[in-house]
Structure 1
Amino acid sequence: MTGEDGIRNPMETHSSFHGTDWTPQRAAFHQNLEQFADRIGLIVGLQANGKVSQEKAYEQIKEMWNDLKQSRKGLLPKD
């Protein structure tokens, strides 16, 4: 949700969770996934503008990916 100044609060999700199998754990993972996507966009932008090397960007993305996988394992049962 954007505030009066037009800036979105980074702690709020972009979209609502949809699905018939909603659980608090699925909603938490959904929020983690959105946060992952936001951070990837920031890293890509920094790398594209020469602020971060490709190697550093890769390492950061790889670490975030592993964190997201652990989040999934902890929040969602095996399908």
Structure 2
Amino acid sequence: MSQNNRELEQFLYPSTPYRGEFTPEKLLFHANLQQFARQVEYLCALETGGNITAEEAFQQMNHLWKDLKHSRQALGWQGED
């Protein structure tokens, strides 16, 4: 991958390292949370640009939220330790 492609990928898909006590479940949930945030950001941009309605954006965000919640439950991790 060229330097320009890496920079573009980092710009489009920023990520932050996991901070805190490491467990595979927490690391996976962290990745899921970052993906959720990225998708919500895209939906906001689509709604702001007039490509989807506010209701469509809300419905899709609600679906993403439920998916994130289910992933957290499937990982058996409930948050604060």
TM-score with structure 2 setting the length: 0.81
Task: State the match for 1:32 in structure 2.
Answer: 32
Distance 1:30 1:13, change over 3 A: farther
Q: Supply the distance in 1 between the matched residues of 2:14 and 2:26 (Cα, whole angstroms).
A: 13
**Are the counterparts in 2 of residues 32 and 68 from structure 1 also a CA contact under 8 Å?**
yes
1:76, CA displacement in angstroms?
3.5
* Unmatched tracts of structure 2, length 5 or more: none
Letter in 2 for 1:15: T
Cα RMSD after superposing both structures: 2.1
- Between the two proteins, what is the percent identity of the paired residues? 30
Write out per-residue CA displacement over residues 32-67 of structure 1, whole angstroms, 9 at most, x where no aligned residue: 000000000000000001000111101000000000
SS of the residue 2:8 aligns to: coil
For 2:3, the equivalent position in structure 1 comes to 4
Question: Following superposition of structure 1 onto structure 2, how do residues 1-79 of structure 1 map, counting pairs within 5 Å?
Answer: 4-5=3-4, 6-8=7-9, 14-19=15-20, 21-78=21-78
**How many pairs align?**
75
Compared CA separation, residues 29 and 69, structure 1 to 2 (3 A): same
Work out the CA distance in 2 between the residues paired with 1:77 and 1:49.
36
Cα distance in 2 between the residues matched to 1:76 and 1:32: 14
**TM-score after normalising by structure 1:** 0.83
